[in-house]
């Protein structure tokens, strides 16, 4: 079967890599892909939100399955567009995708269904927000309602910070804003928990801890993710049962009652406090860089999982992961997440020798006639799996040092909470 993958980041390269290993996949096409996917798939440059143009390519290339990597096409209704056509789409429909597309929608789902989450207030103007903030306790969290590429979240230590955050959101930093979300600040430790679902059944699809802050020791500005380790050190049978029964199952039931059809990955962003899980956010796709960290440990054919979800037969599938410890270290452009330069040549990349347990997934790269250049803030993902986290991290960092890209920046402490030196 020919498969199309939508997206251009490290997550999509990792999905492409795993599907390329399947004997059930004939050809892979990436829309638009990157320099990494170009070595194992056919890259086609087009806007993934132009669904009619995408459909033309699918018909022409005889693509029978589309795998949607990023959230925007899902929120914009790509699954609904292809419904009833001869092309399967792996991902939730437009209504279900509101779990990520609107933080306020998700909070209301939590409120109605008693799903544990932080206390919150929905404000509909800058004046209402500031009036509420004047009588609030700090720190607190302010969030843009819609999609913000993982950057529309402010942790505010005082009223001054909160006013700046509110003004930026209402002034359109993340697009038009009619509402804003003010949340209680939850203390604890973050964890990402993943499932895959066919709309009726769901199965565990890995756990991880992402490092979102740009600086060592989890300091500095928020990013899309500087690195990740999997599995999470926090997960145990008792906690997992609570995550399933208190958060995942009530959410999937609520979506079904709303008339949604949820087929795809669900990313459950959690805060663990005193052994109890609290929902921070849902993402309606695999995380990035969590996807790059988890997928190399998957022992089951990914294609089988995707098809079973589309066909509603996930209950017949068995999903196995290796017991190894995986770490991903992200190599960024200097200056990220603020201003950075693109089109900087990355030499030596194709000369690096990788062991069987190592991967380099391209995130922000572009292939020119003369070589590979940077094309984004997060450029390359260095992944290693081994019997312990320290060895995995050392191997990933050694590869970065061998590359010796002078325009790069990375964190050396990914996994510091699970690595004891």
The string of DSSP letters for 210-271 reads E--EEETTTEEEE-S-SEEEES-TT--HHHHHHIIIIIIHHHHHHHHHTT----EEEEEEEE
- Predicted confidence (pLDDT) at residue 294 exceeds the cutoff of 80: yes
109 part of a folded domain: no
Tokens representing 252?
A: 């999937």
**CA-closest candidate to residue 65, choices 45, 81, 88, 48:** 88
100 part of a folded domain: no
Note the pLDDT of residue 254: 97
Q: Is residue 165 domain-shared with residue 198, that is, in the same domain?
A: no
| pLDDT band at residue 218 under the 50/70/90 scheme | very high
- Predicted confidence (pLDDT) at residue 148 exceeds the cutoff of 80: no
User: Which residues are within 8 A (CB) of 417 and not within 5 positions of it... i.e. 6 or more apart?
Assistant: 189, 209, 233
Q: Is residue 146 domain-shared with residue 219, that is, in the same domain?
A: no
Q: Rounded CA gap, 397 and 416, in Å?
A: 14
Q: Is residue 164 domain-shared with residue 238, that is, in the same domain?
A: no
- Predicted confidence (pLDDT) at residue 420 exceeds the cutoff of 80: no
| pLDDT band at residue 146 under the 50/70/90 scheme | confident
Distance of CA 128 to the CA centre of its chain: 32
96 part of a folded domain: no
Q: CATH number for the domain including 28?
A: 3.40.50.20
| pLDDT band at residue 398 under the 50/70/90 scheme | very high
331 part of a folded domain: yes
Q: Rounded CA gap, 311 and 6, in Å?
A: 20
Q: CATH number for the domain including 311?
A: 3.30.470.20
98 part of a folded domain: no
- Predicted confidence (pLDDT) at residue 14 exceeds the cutoff of 90: yes
Domain boundary among 316, 334, 352: 316
- Predicted confidence (pLDDT) at residue 152 exceeds the cutoff of 90: no
pTM: 0.95
What average pLDDT does this structure show over 210-214? 94
383 part of a folded domain: yes
List, for residues 41-80, the tens digit of each pLDDT value: 999 999 999 999 999 999 999 999 999 999 999 999 999 9
| pLDDT band at residue 153 under the 50/70/90 scheme | confident
258 part of a folded domain: yes
- Residue 230, CA distances (Å) to 12, 192, 194, 299 in order: 18, 9, 11, 15
Note the pLDDT of residue 175: 80
> Residue 30's domain spans which residues?
2-91
Q: Is residue 299 domain-shared with residue 222, that is, in the same domain?
A: yes
């Amino acid at each position: 079967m020919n498969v199309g993958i939508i997206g251009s980041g490290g997550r999509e390269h990792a999905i492409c890599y795993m599907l390329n290993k399947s004997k059930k996949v004939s050809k892979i096409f990436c829309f638009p892909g990157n320099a990494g996917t170009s070595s194992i798939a056919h890259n086609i440059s087009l806007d993934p939100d132009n669904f009619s143009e995408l459909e033309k390519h699918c018909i022409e290339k005889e693509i029978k399955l589309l795998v949607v990597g990023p959230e925007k096409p899902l929120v914009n209704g790509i699954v609904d567009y292809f419904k009833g056509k001869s092309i399967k789409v792996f991902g939730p429909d437009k209504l279900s995708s509101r779990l990520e597309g609107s933080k306020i929608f998700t909070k209301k789902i939590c409120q109605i269904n008693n799903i544990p989450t932080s206390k919150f207030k929905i404000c509909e103007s800058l004046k209402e927000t500031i009036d509420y903030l004047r009588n609030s306790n700090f720190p607190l969290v302010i969030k843009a309602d819609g999609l913000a590429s993982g950057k529309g979240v402010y942790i505010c230590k005082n009223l001054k910070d909160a006013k700046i955050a509110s003004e930026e959101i209402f002034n359109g930093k993340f697009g038009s804003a009619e509402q804003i979300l003010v949340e209680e600040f939850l203390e604890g430790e973050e964890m990402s928990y993943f499932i895959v679902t066919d709309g009726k059944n769901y199965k565990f699809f890995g756990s991880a801890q992402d490092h979102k802050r740009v600086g060592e020791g989890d300091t500095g500005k928020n990013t899309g993710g500087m690195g990740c380790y999997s599995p999470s050190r926090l997960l145990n049978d008792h906690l997992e049962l609570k995550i399933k029964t208190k958060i995942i199952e009530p959410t999937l039931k609520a979506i079904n009652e709303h008339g949604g059809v949820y087929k795809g990955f669900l990313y459950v962003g959690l805060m663990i406090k005193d052994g109890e899980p609290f929902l921070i956010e849902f993402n309606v796709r695999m995380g990035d860089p969590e996807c790059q960290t988890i997928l190399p440990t998957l022992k089951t054919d990914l294609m089988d999982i995707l098809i079973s979800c589309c066909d509603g037969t996930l209950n017949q599938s068995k999903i196995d992961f290796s017991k190894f410890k995986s770490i991903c270290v992200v190599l960024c452009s200097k200056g990220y997440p603020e201003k950075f330069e693109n089109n900087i040549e990355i030499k030596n990349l194709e000369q690096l020798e990788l062991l069987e347990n190592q991967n380099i997934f391209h995130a922000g790269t572009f292939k020119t006639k003369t070589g590979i250049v940077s094309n984004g803030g997060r450029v390359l993902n260095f992944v290693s799996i081994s019997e312990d986290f320290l060895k995995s991290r050392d191997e990933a960092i050694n590869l970065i040092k061998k590359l010796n890209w002078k325009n790069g920046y990375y964190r050396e402490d990914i996994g510091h909470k699970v690595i004891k030196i």
